[in-house]
């Protein structure tokens, strides 16, 4: 049987009689995916080495040799020369081994006063910090694109729905700005999660701390961590930060998926509110007339993956006794794929909203002129003339019923018909129920009235300016 040679392959081999079964070596190894952490592993180890030198645990020369050896590995990796195989088990062993190849026995001192348990926690946090900042930038870009569209469509109307039934007409800008608000909360949520990602577990050791006089604060400072874990057991076993991230990521996906669903509806023949550009849609292999909204469909589809990762992480953690358990190695694929999926979906949706679709203002404005979504405004009209709202509401219900039966819209009723329904109706009823007026009149704070939408645009503009700085 092709067993891995014992002393050549495993760092811990001296304790063992025989080598790992190759299938088990494969099963156990994380190098296939934790290679993603290499930059962070190198940076984390450089900080650890500097700390060991500063505290006198290693000599200055030893510290320097380690730091530059690690830098050489970084270069080798960038040049495509460092490609560790599964015999290395994971990125941490791979780097330590290569370091020892490069600088000799001093490389074996790097792991003084630390364990892979605090090391992997450190690497994962450094990785996630970077990814969070990148996603936040993407969220700002996404909001900017929606904002620009909104600016162009303040006076374009769109049917507003509840229960997917026509409810009240809206400014299209107001509709788009709703997504800007959602996306802004996503940004803020990530900023909040960042605080709990940016805590250093380094120096927690395997679980209990270390006998060496390490300086955890110094290493944390070198790595830009805001705080250090107070308790070594918690430091090595906490994955709350990853769960929190996946939770924030799931909400981003919820928002992208809801927008996707709307775009898919809007692009249908039945709605016809947008046309998809060729750059962002695909054809069918059999139906020559088709133009499919693949981008929003894929985003909607990928949303489930991110929820799955969140769920996987929650289940992964729920039964784990303190402290490190190998189960924790499973956090990485969930996290990495969650990060990549959110990044890819944000990029695609930003392109789609920016240049992949075009709203059809004529069709949109026409849509709101041909329904009963101004019925509330008739009730409001009467209420403003002193009729109690509930009474007005009941009366308008009757008006809608008779109009429907007569095949008419409210705007088609004659003044006599209006007045036969209630003497308070006067000729200004026609203006009061015209779609532009209906929208413009909803001028309560945060409403769809054009004044409000312009105020909201001003606020979003300055918020985005601050965020892009
Ligand atoms: N590859 C491991 C992981 O990703 C590193 C930590 C290993 N620690 C251990 N005690 N076996 O979790």
| CB neighbour class for 357 (10 Å; exposed up to 12, middle 13-18, buried from 19) | buried
- Cβ neighbours of residue 341 under 8 Å, at least 6 residues apart? 249, 253, 302, 305, 306
Strand pairing class (357-359; 274-276): antiparallel
Choosing from 59, 279, 284, 384, the catalytic residue is: 284
Return the pLDDT at 202.
98
Q: Predicted confidence band at 9 (pLDDT cuts at 50, 70, 90)?
A: low
Instruction: Tell how far the Cα of 403 is from the centroid of ligand 1, in angstroms.
Output: 72
φ, ψ of residue 282 in degrees (nearest 5): -130, 165
Of 176, 400, 135, nearest to 266 (Cα)? 176
Cβ atoms 33, 332 nearer than 8 A: yes
Measured distance between the N- and C-terminal CA atoms of the chain, rounded to whole angstroms: 61
- How confident is the model over 414-436, as pLDDT tens digits? 999 999 999 999 999 999 999 99
Atom of ligand 1 nearest to the CA of 206: 10
Instruction: Tell how far the Cα of 124 is from the centroid of ligand 1, in angstroms.
Output: 12
The dihedral region occupied by 427, where left means phi > 0, alpha psi between -120 and 50, and beta the remainder, is alpha
For 198-212, 244-258, 285-299, which range has the lowest pLDDT when averaged over its residues? 285-299
Question: Would you say residue 134 has pLDDT above 80?
Answer: yes
Instruction: Tell how far the Cα of 225 is from the centroid of ligand 1, in angstroms.
Output: 22
CA separation for the pair 374, 369 (Å, rounded): 9
Cβ atoms 175, 198 nearer than 8 A: no
| CB neighbour class for 5 (10 Å; exposed up to 12, middle 13-18, buried from 19) | exposed
Question: Would you say residue 164 has pLDDT above 80?
Answer: yes
Q: Is 120 in the pocket of ligand 1 (CB under 6 A)?
A: yes
Is 26 a residue of the active site? no
**Torsion, CA 372, CA 377, CA 381, CA 387, rounded to 10:** 80
Instruction: Tell how far the Cα of 339 is from the centroid of ligand 1, in angstroms.
Output: 21
Q: Whose CA is nearest to atom 3 of ligand 1?
A: 329
By residue count, the chain amounts to 469
Q: Is 324 in the pocket of ligand 1 (CB under 6 A)?
A: yes
∠ CA(129), CA(186), CA(457), 5° rounding?
125
**SS3 at position 21:** coil
Instruction: Tell how far the Cα of 25 is from the centroid of ligand 1, in angstroms.
Output: 14
Q: Is 43 in the pocket of ligand 1 (CB under 6 A)?
A: no
Locate 65 and state its tokens: 């040799």
- How confident is the model over 263-322, as pLDDT tens digits? 999 999 999 999 999 888 887 777 878 789 999 999 999 999 999 999 999 999 999 999
Task: Report the pLDDT averaged over residues 17-39.
Answer: 94
Is 171 a residue of the active site? no
Question: Would you say residue 4 has pLDDT above 70?
Answer: no
Atom of ligand 1 nearest to the CA of 34: 4
**SS3 at position 372:** coil
C-alpha distances in angstroms, 96 versus 60, 86, 89, 314?
A: 19, 14, 12, 32
Residues facing 357 on adjacent strands: 276
Q: Is 45 in the pocket of ligand 1 (CB under 6 A)?
A: no
């Amino acid at each position: 049987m092709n067993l891995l040679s014992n002393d050549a392959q495993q760092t811990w081999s001296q304790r063992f009689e025989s080598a790992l079964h190759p299938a088990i070596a494969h099963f156990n190894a994380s190098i296939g995916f934790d290679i993603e952490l290499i930059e962070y592993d190198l940076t984390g180890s450089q900080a650890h080495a500097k700390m060991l030198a500063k505290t006198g645990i290693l000599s200055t020369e030893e510290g320097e040799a380690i730091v530059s050896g690690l830098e050489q590995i970084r270069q080798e990796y960038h040049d495509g020369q460092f490609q560790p195989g599964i015999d290395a088990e994971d990125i941490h062993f791979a780097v330590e081994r290569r370091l020892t190849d490069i600088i000799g026995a001093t490389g074996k001192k790097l792991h003084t006063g630390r364990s892979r348990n605090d090391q992997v926690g450190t690497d994962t946090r450094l990785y996630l910090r970077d990814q969070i900042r990148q996603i936040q930038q993407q969220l700002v870009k996404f909001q900017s694109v929606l904002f620009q569209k909104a600016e162009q469509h303040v006076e374009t109307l769109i049917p507003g729905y509840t229960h997917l039934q026509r409810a009240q007409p809206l400014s299209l800008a107001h509709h788009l700005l709703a997504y800007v608000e959602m996306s802004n909360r996503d940004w803020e949520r990530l900023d909040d999660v960042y605080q709990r990602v940016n805590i250093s577990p380094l120096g927690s050791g395997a679980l209990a701390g270390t006998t060496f006089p390490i300086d955890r604060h110094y290493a944390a400072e070198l790595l830009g961590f805001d705080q250090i874990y107070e308790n070594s057991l918690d430091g090595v076993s906490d994955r709350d930060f990853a769960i929190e991230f996946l939770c924030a990521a799931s909400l981003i996906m919820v928002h992208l998926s809801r927008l996707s669903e709307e775009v898919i509806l809007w692009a249908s023949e039945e709605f016809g509110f947008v046309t998809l550009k060729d750059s962002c849609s695909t054809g069918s292999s059999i139906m020559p007339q088709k133009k499919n909204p693949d981008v929003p469909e894929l985003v909607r589809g990928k949303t489930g993956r991110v929820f799955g990762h969140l769920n996987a992480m929650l289940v992964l953690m729920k039964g784990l006794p303190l402290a490190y358990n190998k189960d924790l190695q499973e956090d990485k694929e969930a996290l990495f794929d969650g990060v990549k999926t959110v990044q890819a979906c944000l990029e695609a949706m930003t392109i789609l909203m920016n240049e992949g679709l075009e709203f059809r203002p004529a069709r949109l404005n026409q849509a709101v002129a041909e329904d009963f979504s101004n019925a509330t405004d008739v009730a409001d009209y009467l209420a403003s003339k002193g009729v109690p709202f509930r009474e007005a509401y009941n009366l308008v219900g009757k008006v809608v019923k008779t109009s429907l039966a007569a095949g008419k819209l409210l705007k088609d009723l004659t003044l006599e018909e209006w007045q036969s329904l209630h003497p308070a109706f006067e000729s200004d009823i026609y203006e009061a129920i015209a779609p532009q007026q209906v929208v413009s009149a909803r001028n309560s704070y945060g409403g769809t009235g054009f004044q409000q939408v312009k105020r909201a645009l001003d606020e979003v503009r300055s918020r985005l300016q601050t965020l892009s700085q």
